[in-house]
Amino acid sequence: MLFLIPLRVVQHVDVYWRLPLWLHAGVACGVTHLLLGLQFGWKFSRSLAPATLFALLALPIPSVLESALVQGLTHQVVTLSTATLPYLGYAVEVAGNSLIVKGEILDVAEGCSGIRSFQSSAMAALCLGELLRLSLFRRLALIALALALAIACNAGRIVILALVELPELGQS
């Protein structure tokens, strides 16, 4: 527990550095499960692991993992949006994370990647999986569904924004 004091100091110095935050959460969860295991038995402590995982999902994702996820999700959202807009009458070109429609550039920012949607959907999937006592396979399937839903909804948002931003371009 004395390990938490320097962690708290470092957390106050740089609130955006995620390593101390994850170490703090790891120590708190580890000590909690240790005390629960000693007091009520290890089986009881293990039974609360999904709740611990659920709580850990509220933490910001480590920067390296978040950057990779954001890039991957943004690529998927741009790809799905690019595939959808021609069906609505817009000729689309892709340039990195931007859509080019009749010379107009629509940037797909990192905020449109769906990372927050995925994180909240994953939390909802884990909550539903625990509530319904689903098997591990079904819980993982729910998380995969949450990922697909986040991509689809954010691609839909990009398509709607393109339609709202570009009505004066007309149909191609």
- Dump pLDDT digits (tens) for 88-122: 888 888 888 888 887 788 888 777 778 888 888 88
Q: Which residues, 6+ apart, have CB-to-CB distance to 171 below 8 Å?
A: 89, 90
Q: What is the mean pLDDT of the chain?
A: 85
> Among residues of the chain, what percentage have pLDDT more than 90?
24
The answer, as to whether pTM is greater than 0.75, is no
| pLDDT for the residue numbered 135 | 92
